[in-house]
Chains A and B, each alone.
Chain A
Amino acid sequence: MSSPAQQSPGAARIPRRDFILLPLISLATVLVVLGLAEVGSRIIWPAYTQGSCLAGDDRVGFKWKPRCDARVKIMESSPAVYHFNECGFRASTSCGPKPPGALRIASLGSSSMLGYWVATEQVLPELLASDLARGCGREVDSQNLSVPGATLYNMADRVGEVIALQPDLVLLGISSQDLLDTIPDEPVQAPPPARPRSFGARLKELLQEANLNSRFVAVVRHYLYLDRERYIQSMSRRGGLVSMQRPLSSLWEKRVEAADRTLGRLSKALRTADIPLVVIYLPELTELQVIKAAAEHPDLDPFSIESAVRQIALRDGVPFVPSLEKLAEAPDPTTYFFAGDGHLSAAGHRRLADLVLRSMSLIRPSSLACTQAVATTYGGGTGP
């Protein structure tokens, strides 16, 4: 560069080379600023996953490795440790025979029930166990069999493991997401035939990769999703509102029918083993935000899947704990979630544990008689 290209009112014309240089400088600046934003985000909002405990399983999709610890943190959460006992269940106690006089809760679900990004002692089953222990004056241990991505079908396939634990209560956490991929003949989109990838396709992949791994994008997403309407719009674009359409689509009707069959199979097996089952509906942030913005979205029914699951549970004689209405009472439902990630936060688990405790009066086995008093303490007695 021969001169620094001074910009004075007199020098109105710019040389031709600047038609190339100036856009390049702009582009370079964008990259530098984004790079700095990424570095800054990584320093201010650290995130990590130390230790890989997840292993593939032919029968139920995934399982946790026995005796494994993982330390995890996302930008929205506090550091948490996943500890898996000798059976590969998230629990602070052994999965061996329960001590005399002790009560045991076994939990089934997917990532929400597992307590993704939340410390073990702050997850719904553990909270329930410690509150019951306090109320009953007995030892209560929790064995959490949940794995991320598990469908209701996968959960039902683990009923044998659950019965082997001889629990006093089985807690099944179901969210609308757990009903996906539950139909044996659900149409699966065939992968496109392998073709040489175009530059556009490669760029798209690169951007998707950056979108997944960038901390700056995670920070942006977190703050964007704190805004209700923007969150709903984003979920709408990603197909996250399909389960709330009025009337339910035929695909979702089929999913509900499949859930009916699967839950029937699970409850029958547990009833045969004389083990009480409680189903809790785990809310999605999308459902709560649509409830809060009901006036703007009259075409959506955020209660549709919860109502369907409730009907199924009622038919099977299984106590059901609804959660949407209660959690939607909060002025800002994002306090119950990691907004950008979508999983329940510690506050969300606490609120759900309270709802389950208030519903304990619905369970009638003699071994859990003390829970009646606990339910009364939590303001329950006749259900949530």
Chain B
Amino acid sequence: VSTATPAFLLFAVAGALAYPLNRSIAWRQLVLLAMNLYFLSTFSRDPVGFIPLAAFLAVGFVGVWLMQRGRRGWFVPVLVLEIALLVWLKKYSFIPHFGLLHFSYVTLGMSYICFRMLHMLIDAKEGSLTGVTLIGYLNYTLNFLTLVSGPIQRYEDFASTQLQATRPRLELADVGRALERIALGVFKVSLLSLLLQTWHDAAIARLGVAESIPDRVAAGIGVAAAYPLFLYANFSGYMDIVIGIGHFFRFTLPENFARPFAAPNFMTFWNRWHMTLSDFFKTYVFNPLVLALMQRFEKPSLEPWIAVCAFFITFFLLGVWHGQTSVFVVYGLILGLGVSVNKLYQVLMARRMGAKRYKALARSGLYTALCRGLTFTYFTFSLFFFWSSWRQMGELLSRVDTVSLVLTWTGLLLFATLALALVESVSRWISSWTLVGHPVFASRYVRTALTTAVILVTVTATVLMNAPAPDNVYKAF
């Protein structure tokens, strides 16, 4: 069952109706468990296909159980075993073929389960996580809303809404907010991402037949620019749907996107894009790494350089996580390089200009617009290693000459700078509209009208286009 389908929405509605029938925690836990297991059961018809996942979950639970009982000596073995199991079951390309399981089994959502398990394991070891039961563990790790592609919720946030005897009532306004969010998500997934995917495919096809340099440059800009926009519409749309549905269960799922293309630099971009993943890496990789390095190298003057190194390692790992092949190692290197060079630039500029003058420069409109365009262009470049294989990349490069390539990236930088500056200006202008002293778009009347229009346009366009919504891209990870 895919998240953006009527079947999934009906399934969620059925669950949301059953969920509040009894106020006891046990009832809610049982309903949620039934929903999670049913959703999971749609991934495979063969029960044998669930055995590896069950083993993976069992190891995680045993680890958390041991940590809760103070058996900290088991921490490293369980951690290593958990990561090794993920790498093995996800069939990373460096593992010899004979060492893999040779039957079809479920790996969907395994990466996100792993993130949740590692978080529980580490926090339980440090004593900040207690009272995890088997049913709570299963409901948290297998939550049907977040199983496939997040967002990565912290266990304490999950427990604070699901394992409390008294919960806030579901008011009509909450229902409105939830429906608004779901409608926006379906619009993004079913319509916007479909159109952007079509644009991307058409641009690739056009690049193959483009004969003149202007044609190649235009097609190249299309190939490059369409994908990040598609990925944003696709991933953030799915997030909107699950966060919206979550309101009906009184889940407060964390946000995963915050206008990422408005970010003025690559570091800030990752605070706005796939935020829960960035937070996970910040909490469990970056912070401990910086701490460890600062304890090892105690000179304060080294602190900025330590941060640069830690950023590189963190984002390298974040990039590598995305896939099982060597191309994702390069993706990790590009992300690591992007963030660490960004940090290095900030350090050097602050030293050369002085912190005050550098801050003033960073606030100037033209500089910010250019940085925003550069951030988008660099992210776009990094995504080539995300959506294409080595063979596809070779084919694309064989279609363009050096001049076209240079002009494509220069053109994209210029286009992104101007387009994003325009979007920001329009966005600011629209935000300034007020009605009786309040922002227009905060009014529920305006929002009701907009949501109705969005639903109408989505339904009509979806029926007319008669094409399935693009699948959740992050499902593959």
Contacts and interface: CB of A to CB of B under 8 A. Distances in A.
B288 to A, nearest CB: 34
Given A7-B173, A227-B466, A25 B448 contact: yes
B445 interface: yes
Contact of A7 (B436, B444, B464): B444
Contacts of A33: 452-453, 456-457
Contacts of B464: 220, 223-224
B443 A12 contact: no
Interface string B434-461: 0110101011110111001100110010
B172 interface: yes
A14 B170 CA distance: 12
A332 interface: no
A6 interface: yes
Contacts of B452: 25-26, 29-30, 33
Given A26-B449, A223-B464, A230-B466, A14 B442 contact: no
A272 interface: no
Contacts of B435: 4
B174 interface: yes
A5 to B, nearest CB: 5
B69 to A, nearest CB: 39
A224 B173 contact: no
Given A14-B173, A26-B452, A4 B463 contact: no
B465 to A, nearest CB: 8
A64 B176 CA distance: 59
A30 B451 CA distance: 10
B453 A29 contact: yes
B206 interface: no
A3 B435 CA distance: 8
Nearest to A12: B171
Contacts of B173: 7, 11-14
A7 B457 contact: no
B55 to A, nearest CB: 42
Contacts of B177: 7
Given A29-B449, A29-B452, A5 B444 contact: yes
B438 A12 contact: no
Interface residues of A, number: 27
A189 interface: no
Interface string A30-63: 1001100100000000000000000000000000
A18 interface: yes
Nearest to B465: A223
Interface in A1-31: 1, 3-8, 11-14, 18, 21-22, 25-26, 28-30
B432 to A, nearest CB: 15
Interface string A220-232: 1001100100100
Contacts of A230: 466
B448 A6 contact: no
A4 B438 CA distance: 7
B456 A22 contact: no
A6 B457 contact: no
A220 B456 CA distance: 13
Nearest to B439: A6
B445 A25 contact: yes
Nearest to B457: A33
Interface string B154-184: 0000000000000010011110110000000
Given A25-B449, A230-B466, A3 B436 contact: yes
B172 A4 contact: no
A7 B460 contact: no
A21 B445 contact: yes
Contact of B171 (A13, A28, A34, A224): A13
Pairs of residues from A and B, 7 with the lowest C-beta to C-beta distance, nearest first: A29-B452, A12-B171, A7-B444, A4-B435, A4-B443, A26-B452, A223-B464
Given A14-B172, A30-B456, A33-B453, 8 more contacts: A4-B440, A11-B173, A14-B173, A25-B445, A25-B452, A33-B457, A220-B463, A224-B464
14 contacts: A7-B173, A7-B177, A7-B442, A12-B168, A22-B444, A25-B448, A25-B452, A26-B448, A29-B449, A29-B452, A33-B453, A33-B456, A224-B464, A230-B466
